[in-house]
Amino acid sequence: MGKIRDSVDARALRFAAGFPVMLAAAFVVCALLIRADLPEPLAVRWTDAGAADFAPFGAVVAAGAGLIVLVGWAILLQAAPLSRPALMRRFMMGAGLTMSLFVTAVLAALLVGQLGLADARGSRVDVTILAMGSGAALGLGVVMGFVFKADERWSTDDERAVREALERQRDPDLARDSVSLWVHARTSVFVMLGIATLFPAALLTVAVPWLAALLVAAALLAAVFLFARIRVDRGGLRVFAGGFVRVMDVPAAAIDAATPREVKAADYGGWGYRSHGATTALLVSSGPAVVVDRSDGRRLAVSGGSATTADNIAQVLSRVAARARRNGGAPASQPE
């Protein structure tokens, strides 16, 4: 609950949740007050020839109240998250109020246009009510957008940023011991993958659509896993296939050596994630890589992008591993 309170504007959330419900309740009460003067059933759609579709009074009122609530919630709730820009939150608050009132005005015009009629076939939407209600909805929405205070608030992200800044100030070398980068296969590989899969899929679309879709999905999956995100800090080495699937997590104290090398992907089983015996690799291409020897005898290899970045990763890993060994195997504190 604490995280939710830190991430949303409680006052905006209460208004966004409560206002559409109260507006819908007011619509229902007003509709019941004029129920005796309305025909049964009510017209709900018109053509040039007059009323075309009809529905019972209860269904019209219930559906209208539900529509007011759903439209209001769908837009007004977008103004509650504190992570969104203040301008966007102001706009969504004003737009939500406008749309809620506009839907109510349309429903009111539908009912007022049928007052005093014995048969809804001769009814029309009351244009005066619709125009006045729409104008009021727009005006009140603009006013709400200006008066809504979407102020920035101190959040957990700010707390984390302050902690990181203090850590860097206390330990100037902290920034040097942190590396984060993305590596990916060469452009020619993606082009080749597209030619090998997307073109046949286009030909199969007419004959076997499901097979074409399967082929496209396989191509996209293969392309995603030719990307990798590498994160090195005083905690050690973490590698994420596709940027989100963690496939390597090596504590700094478990690193015996880290060496930049020119490798061939074929020597490690090919592109992508591979694990054979005591060797684990995630290579998106042949070329510069970092080979890590663990203290338990296992070996890891990960693409390093360019020769410069691979050398930098190896140096940082060597440095944080030496620091962890000096600290008795416990890495220095690292802000998340």
Q: Give the residue from 89, 120, 147 where a domain finishes.
A: 147
Same domain, yes or no: 251 and 112:
no
Residues 204 and 115 in one domain: no
Domain range for 278 is: 166-184+226-326
Q: How far apart are CA 220 and CA 222, in angstroms?
A: 5
pLDDT, tens only, 120-160: 787 788 888 889 988 888 988 898 888 887 765 655 666 77
Q: Is 247 helix (H, G, I), strand (E, B) or coil?
A: strand
318 exposure class (CB count in 10 Å sphere: 0-12, 13-18, 19+)? middle
My answer on whether 312 and 175 are in the same domain is yes
Quick one: 116 and 127 in the same domain?
yes
Do 42 and 75 sit in the same domain of this protein?
A: yes
Stated as kind and residue range, the H or E segment containing 279 is strand 279-283
Same domain, 122 and 236: no
* Residue environment code for 16-26, b if the CB has 16+ CB neighbours within 10 A, otherwise e: beebbeebbee
Does residue 110 lie in a domain region? yes
Residues 210 and 122 both lie in one domain: no
In this prediction the pTM is 0.49
Burial 243-271 (b: 16+ CB within 10 A, else e): eeeebbebbbbbbeebebeebebeebeeb
Residue 37 maps to a domain:
yes
Query: Is residue 173 domain-shared with residue 308, that is, in the same domain?
Result: yes
The per-residue pLDDT for 168 is 67
8 Å CB contact between 125 and 51:
no
Give the β-pairing of 287-294 and 255-263.
antiparallel
pLDDT for position 335: 43
Number of domains in the chain: 3
| 43 within some domain | yes
* Domain assignment of residue 221, yes or no: no
Taking the C-alpha atoms of residue 257 and residue 295, their distance in angstroms, rounded to an integer, is: 8
Low-confidence spans in the chain with pLDDT less than 70: 1-6, 151-158, 167-168, 171-175, 206, 328-336
CATH for 261:
2.30.29.30
- Written as six digits, the tokens of 150 are 């979407």
State whether 6 and 142 are in the same domain: yes
Following CA atoms 198, 202, 208, 209 in sequence, which dihedral angle do they give, to the nearest 10 degrees? Answer: 80
| Phi, psi dihedrals of residue 9, rounded to the nearest 5° | -85, 110
pLDDT for the residue 171 = 62
* CB-based contact 45:51 (threshold 8 Å): yes
- 99, 71 in Cβ contact below 8 A? yes
